[in-house]
Amino acid sequence: MANLVIDIGNTYTKIAVFKRDELLVYKQFEGIDDAVINAFFKEYAISKAIVSSVKKNESQAWQTTLAAKVPVIFFNGKMAGELNNQYRTPDTLGADRLAGVMGAKTLFPQKNNLVISGGTCITYDAVDAAGNYFGGSISPGLNMRYKALNYYTDGLPLVGADESFDKQYGDNTVSAIRSGVQNGIKYELMGFIDSYKKAGEELNIVLSGGDSIFFDSLLKNSIFAPCVKIEPFLVLKGLNAALYINND
C-alpha cells in the first residue's frame, strides 16, 4: 500500500506517491481537482494521504473526494513529531517550512541542519542535532526580486535568471539587474550559512525547492560547497514522515 502526499505551494501543487520511504512518483501541477486525485488512485493502491497547503482557508471539492477514498491528515504547524518546536506562534508557521525541517531531521538525524528552500520566497530554517527548532528567516525569492524591480520602477525591464551569469558587476542595465539579484542572493546565502556555521560545530546545508539547483550553482565555488546537499523533494519527504508520526 502507498501514501499520497500533496504539497500546495504559492505557485505549484506538488504530489508524490511513497511506498514507506521510497518515492515512487512525483508530479507537479498548476492546480488540483477531482480528475488529478482520481488519476493517482487508478494507478496506485493508496491507503492514506496527507495534505499540506500554504494557502489560507482553502476548501475545495477535491478534498471531499480524497477524504471519501482514504484517511486524510491535513498537516499543520502543531504536527512537529519528535521536533522540539519552539516557534512562538506555531499556528502561523508555514507548513512547508516545518515539513522541510522534519524532512532534514529524517534524512540527516543527529546532525545540525540548515534548510534553505528556494521557491516563491527563500526560507532559512535550522534544526540542531538534538531536534530543537527555534525559527528561521523569510526573504523574497529569485523570480519575485526580478518582477519587483520591473513592477516598482518605470525604467527597468523584466529580466529572467541566467545561470551562466558569473560577473561581479553588470556593464549594462540587464546585466546590472542580474548582478544585483543573483549576486545579492549569493551573498545572502553565504551570510546566513556563515552565521549558522559559527553557532554549530558541523552543519549540513540542505537545499530544497524549485530553485535548489540554481542556488547550488551560486555556491559551487564557495567554501561552503562541500557541505551542500540538494534534496528537491525534502518537503514531500518530511510530509511522508509526518504521515507515519501522526497516523501510526
Instruction: Cite the active site residues.
Output: 96
Number of neighbours of residue 142 by Cβ within 10 angstroms? 23
Q: Which three cell numbers stand for residue 13?
A: 501543487
Q: Do residues 127 and 197 lie in contact, with contact meaning Cβ atoms separated by under 8 Å?
A: no
Q: Compute the distance between CA of residue 214 and CA of residue 226 in angstroms, rounded to an integer.
A: 16
Strand segments, DSSP code E, in the chain are: 2-8, 13-19, 22-29, 46-53, 72-74, 84-85, 113-118, 121-127, 132-140, 204-208, 228-230
Q: Do residues 116 and 231 lie in contact, with contact meaning Cβ atoms separated by under 8 Å?
A: no
Q: Would you say the C-alpha torsion 19, 25, 28, 34 has a positive or negative sign?
A: negative
SS percent in the chain: helix, strand, coil, step 5: 40, 25, 35
Q: Compute the distance between CA of residue 210 and CA of residue 95 in angstroms, rounded to an integer.
A: 17
Q: Do residues 207 and 218 lie in contact, with contact meaning Cβ atoms separated by under 8 Å?
A: no
